[in-house]
Amino acid sequence: MGSERVRSHRPDVPGIAEVLSARFVEHAYPLHTHDTWTLLLVEDGAVHYDLDRRPHDTGRHVTLLPPHVPHDGRAATATGFRKRVLYLEPGALPTTAAGRLADAPELPDPRLTAAARDLHARLSGDPVLDADPLDVHARAAVLLDAVTAHVLRTPPSHRRDAPLARRLRTLLDEHVVDGVLLADAAARFGVSSAHLVRTFTREVGMPPHAYLTGRRVDLARRLLLTGHRPAEAAVLAGFHDQPHLTRHFRRVLGTTPGRFTG
């Protein structure tokens, strides 16, 4: 049992109830249900499971198990399996998707697989990836919207809406330092979070988080030129700390804040 590992936490992200990482060799899940949607990625090995009394094996894409449907799970190979799981709030997806998923729980779309893996990594604290709330919330909203579109076979809207993008850009410009919560902005404009992110990205050419980060780098640049130390400029420009500023400053300008005016 020494090779069995489980790590889980509840993130502060709309629609996401729990983030879990696990490695199992001998453990087998008994028949059980969840009141959440189970978005599963098996990274190593494979899992054999029964869902609603029908046998399945996980593949290399996202598996999505609906709420309240009995299922079990066990390693399909002697070496076990490693998995990532995003448990989605009951209201995160339409209930009409449950019937289709009970019949065909795997979503064979590599873009969904990549997006789910990326979001899980950010929510799990991968130090290489940015975990700014605006970015993470946007990725979660877009992923949930894409999963819904895939399951219900309704492609997401590509309607142009330049005025909406301008309104969000103005809001971001007014809150460069303190930032903006995606859910608050979407409620303010009367649209879904996913639609707001897609519209802004389509009209402006970059996601809201990337735009806001660029504005913060510009502000930090001006602060450095007026004599502020890098640590001071970082906080005054809205970054968590100096390393956070340095990572983005180097990516945008090709140098560090300390060397920029040296």
Alpha carbon distance 90, 126 (integer Å): 26
Going residue by residue through the chain (262 aa), what tens digit of pLDDT does each one get?
457 899 999 999 999 999 999 999 999 999 999 999 999 999 999 999 999 999 999 988 999 999 999 999 999 999 999 999 999 999 999 999 998 899 999 999 999 999 999 999 999 987 667 778 999 999 999 999 999 999 988 876 667 789 999 999 999 999 999 999 999 999 999 999 999 999 999 999 999 999 999 999 999 999 999 999 999 999 999 999 999 999 999 999 999 999 998 7
Q: Among the CATH numbers 2.60.200.20, 2.60.120.10, 1.20.80.10, 2.120.10.30, which is that of 5-150?
A: 2.60.120.10
pLDDT value at position 155? 73
The tokens describing 38, both together, are 């189970």
Contact 193, 141 (CB under 8 A): yes
Alpha carbon distance 114, 112 (integer Å): 5
Residues sharing a CB contact under 8 Å with residue 163, sequence separation 6 or more, in sequence order: none
pLDDT value at position 128? 64
CATH code of the region 213-260: 1.10.10.60
Q: Do domains 5-150 and 213-260 have the same CATH topology?
A: no
Q: If phi over 0 gives left and psi between -120 and 50 gives alpha, with beta otherwise, what is residue 105?
A: alpha
Q: Provide the residue ranges of all domains of the chain, joining segments of one domain with +.
A: 5-150, 157-205, 213-260
- Say which DSSP state 157 is in: P
